[in-house]
Structure 1
Amino acid sequence: MLRRFSPRNPNKREQLSSRQIFILILCAVIAGIFLLRIPAKEANPLASDTLVTLHIPRGAPFTQIADSLIQQGLIESRRRFYWSARLKGKTDELQAGTYRVPGGLSYGKLVNFLSVAQPLQIRVTIPEGLEFEETAILLSKHFSFSAEDFAAYKDSAHLFHLPFEISSLEGFLYPETYDFYENASPREIIRRLIRQFLVEVDDSLRQVIRQKGKTVEEIITVASIIQGEAMIHDEMPVIASVYYNRLKRGMKLQADPTIQYIVPGPKIRLRQRHLEINSPYNTYLYRGLPPGPVNSPGRDAILAAVFPDTTKYLYFVARGDGSHVFSRTHREHLKAKAAFQQVRWEVYRQQQREKAPSP
């Protein structure tokens, strides 16, 4: 008769597996301690007052980070650095960016430093009157993202939860000087610019805008046109009055900044053919405001749009020195235009004389 096999301890195999796992963990800990005994000293011979610039690219794997540390003289052993980060559970906590790393750190202290250090900051000035795409190009020269990556957010106002409705982010990237971390993303930068916009156009100013029966987007649209026209800030409230007077009378705004907005590329001297471009932004063809802002206006232009001067002016033309001549009637305006054309002609003749070869 066959005997049924009955093991004395049915859990023996499981107990052995657990012991094996425990032994493996113990060996790993002992190996880690052994490897870290020497790295507990300085990981490099650099003096403690030495600062080394280290750049960690976005998405760089741990091995690439270690190679960069070796190249910069901050570590001598890739393996010891790995085990230092592994035992601290920080192999995935070394962030992209550019850092100033002090010399003379141990492997463990170097891991701690890189896991909590803030990247270097970049100071960027965004001028008044830039279009969204122009801002994207400017920022792409300072950061690792492309202008296209930044510009892709133009029609994503819903991502930033503004307290009012807008059709796009054009006009709402507040022009100012900012300090950003070197690894800042387009979304982080846009959020910062919008936050500054909400500081400048705060609740009290938005309440005034509502009391005037206007929306924030309408005010910023007018402000952007003023920003594009004015070189002298004291003239901004007067220019605002001209546009509001024309709107009240049902006249076309005939604002050059709205044409510049639909002409691709850098700002140019407008010709008659540009004034005939069929676009809702063409205020020479269509009455009323364009669909939205045409650039990001500064505070003076915004305040001028909210608090315009009270005038009867309907026209203005450049003098040639940055200021404007304002007129109430079309006849006065034609005289002012003729005077400006004379100034322009004199400038042209002077340029031709300067180019002519001397006898």
Structure 2
Amino acid sequence: MSNGSKKQEMLSKMQERKSEVKIVRRIVAIIAAVIIIALAGAGWFGYSYVKEALQPIDPNATKTIAVEVPIGSSLSTISALLEKKGIIKDARVFKYYAKFKNESQFQAGDYDLTKAMTFDELIESLKTGKVYRKPVFTMTIPEGLTLEQIGNIIEKKTPYTQQQFMDLVTSDAFVQQMMANYPELITDAVLADTIRYDLEGYLFPATYPYYEEKPSLEAIVEEMISAMNDVVRNYSDVLAEKEMSVHELLTFASLLEEEATAQTDRETIASVFYNRIKTDMPLQTDPTVLYALGGHKDRVLYEDLEVDNVYNTYKNKGLPPGPIAGAGKSSIEATLNPSKTEYFYFLADKEGVNHFSKTYDEHLQKVEKYLRKAE
């Protein structure tokens, strides 16, 4: 073979090798691109999956699901249980989220959970042993409000009107149902003809959370009654010892609540009322006059004290027929644990400070000193 032929053959082989290298490079590039795309796709899928798994299964769910966490359950066991019950999407995501938050001390017990709960809400519930959820809205019922005043708050905070509320709480059927549900709290005493509203004073003042936009009006009211039942049952032994009924307790406590100011000593006011009852003196407390009149006044006049009404404690001795407002826990406890004093009179000055007296003459002197001279 001539030198020219050999040279041509070498050039041909070199050209073939260059072509092969180009093809290999192209294949490698394609494979690398496919791998990158696959990894990116897998990463995006993983990111989307985890992001979705971190969200509540159904943010609008209200139905509760019973979950029993056995004693000694590990985080892995609890996570798997929540996934099995449909509370969360993925047990592994919940487990790693809890570990990332350094949360592991969960309590055994029976829980009523929902698909609307976030991971943080679930963790808080499992840590405290209580079901924790962020409420849709809350409603605060302050101490010392009448049913009509509570109705005003409900009208502002819920879709229900004050009239709808009053229609419900004065409904014989609803009252009877509450008596059946809470027999130790609501007794036949509320059915006396002299009582204005059967359930007056039986709705506990507190801040209530709601986890749905429109809870039923019946559920709203019953929750307040149930809260009062929970509070009062703690004092059943004391009531038995004092031979005092729940109705008397709530009636007495409502007087303290209405007489209270920011600086009021409820226990001492309670002692004044008890001292008057023991000596057959009328209680003569202005809030009962206002309740008898059916409205609020900045100042009770002498002519108001003569109103002919069973709630007027200037005209009638002893407690009124029933509560005149909703009493808080402090007034209830003051009713059961009054101070021991010899006071029969008290007044609040312009600053809300109370001044107590043993005699009427002493009381008149304090009226002159703290009220009339201040006018």
Alignment TM-score, normalising by the size of structure 1 = 0.61
What are the superposed Cα offsets for residues 226-267 of structure 1, whole Å, 9 maximum, x if unpaired? 011111466000000000100011101001111121223344
- Residue 34 of structure 1 is matched in structure 2 by none
Change (3 A) 1:233 1:322: closer
Do the aligned residues in 1 keep the contact of 2:271 with 2:338 (CA within 8 Å)? Answer: yes
Do the aligned residues in 1 keep the contact of 2:205 with 2:327 (CA within 8 Å)? Answer: yes
Match for 1:171: what amino acid? G
1:303 & 1:246 partners in 2: Cα distance?
A: 19
- Residue 232 of structure 2 is matched in structure 1 by 201
The answer to whether the aligner puts 1:341 opposite 2:352 as a matched pair is no
**Equivalent position SS for 1:193:** helix
Q: Which has the larger radius of gyration?
A: 2
2:373 & 2:250 partners in 1: Cα distance?
A: 33
Do the aligned residues in 1 keep the contact of 2:292 with 2:310 (CA within 8 Å)? Answer: no
- Residue 81 of structure 2 is matched in structure 1 by none
- Please, which of 220, 224, 237 is the counterpart of residue 189 of structure 1? 220
- Residue 143 of structure 1 is matched in structure 2 by 158
Match for 1:177: what amino acid? T
- Residue 8 of structure 1 is matched in structure 2 by none
Do the aligned residues in 1 keep the contact of 2:349 with 2:371 (CA within 8 Å)? Answer: no
Change (3 A) 1:153 1:333: same
- Residue 260 of structure 2 is matched in structure 1 by 230
What are the superposed Cα offsets for residues 204-226 of structure 1, whole Å, 9 maximum, x if unpaired? 40221121011011011111000
- Residue 159 of structure 1 is matched in structure 2 by 177
- Please, which of 131, 150, 165 is the counterpart of residue 146 of structure 2? 131
Which structure 2 residues correspond to residues 99-110 of structure 1 after superposition, within 5 A? none
> What is the CA-CA distance between 1:342 and the residue it aligns to?
3.2
Match for 1:328: what amino acid? K
- Please, which of 259, 277, 290 is the counterpart of residue 260 of structure 1? 290
The answer to whether the aligner puts 1:273 opposite 2:303 as a matched pair is yes
> What is the CA-CA distance between 1:119 and the residue it aligns to?
11
The answer to whether the aligner puts 1:307 opposite 2:322 as a matched pair is no
Aligned residues: CA RMSD:
2.7
1:214 & 1:341 partners in 2: Cα distance?
A: 36
- Please, which of 216, 225, 243 is the counterpart of residue 213 of structure 1? 243
Do the aligned residues in 2 keep the contact of 1:157 with 1:169 (CA within 8 Å)? Answer: yes
Match for 1:294: what amino acid? I
Match for 1:188: what amino acid? A
**Equivalent position SS for 1:211:** helix
The answer to whether the aligner puts 1:319 opposite 2:319 as a matched pair is no
Which structure 2 residues correspond to residues 17-28 of structure 1 after superposition, within 5 A? none
Match for 2:216: what amino acid? S
> What is the CA-CA distance between 1:154 and the residue it aligns to?
3.1
The answer to whether the aligner puts 1:169 opposite 2:170 as a matched pair is no
**Equivalent position SS for 1:152:** helix
Identity %: 33
Q: Which has the larger share of helix?
A: 2
**Equivalent position SS for 1:297:** coil
Residues paired across the two proteins, number: 235
**Equivalent position SS for 1:284:** coil
Do the aligned residues in 2 keep the contact of 1:145 with 1:185 (CA within 8 Å)? Answer: no
Return 5+ residue gaps in structure 1 as ranges.
Answer: 1-47, 56-99, 101-117, 346-359
Do the aligned residues in 2 keep the contact of 1:233 with 1:300 (CA within 8 Å)? Answer: no
1:282 & 1:144 partners in 2: Cα distance?
A: 35
> What is the CA-CA distance between 1:121 and the residue it aligns to?
2.0
Alignment TM-score, normalising by the size of structure 2 = 0.58
Change (3 A) 1:205 1:119: closer
> What is the CA-CA distance between 1:302 and the residue it aligns to?
0.4
Return 5+ residue gaps in structure 2 as ranges.
Answer: 1-51, 61-115, 117-132, 191-197
1:134 & 1:210 partners in 2: Cα distance?
A: 32
1:153 & 1:212 partners in 2: Cα distance?
A: 33
Do the aligned residues in 1 keep the contact of 2:140 with 2:207 (CA within 8 Å)? Answer: yes
What are the superposed Cα offsets for residues 322-358 of structure 1, whole Å, 9 maximum, x if unpaired? 121100111101101111233431xxxxxxxxxxxxx
1:263 & 1:285 partners in 2: Cα distance?
A: 13
2:263 & 2:227 partners in 1: Cα distance?
A: 21
> What is the CA-CA distance between 1:196 and the residue it aligns to?
1.1
The answer to whether the aligner puts 1:243 opposite 2:243 as a matched pair is no
Do the aligned residues in 2 keep the contact of 1:320 with 1:343 (CA within 8 Å)? Answer: no
Match for 2:223: what amino acid? R
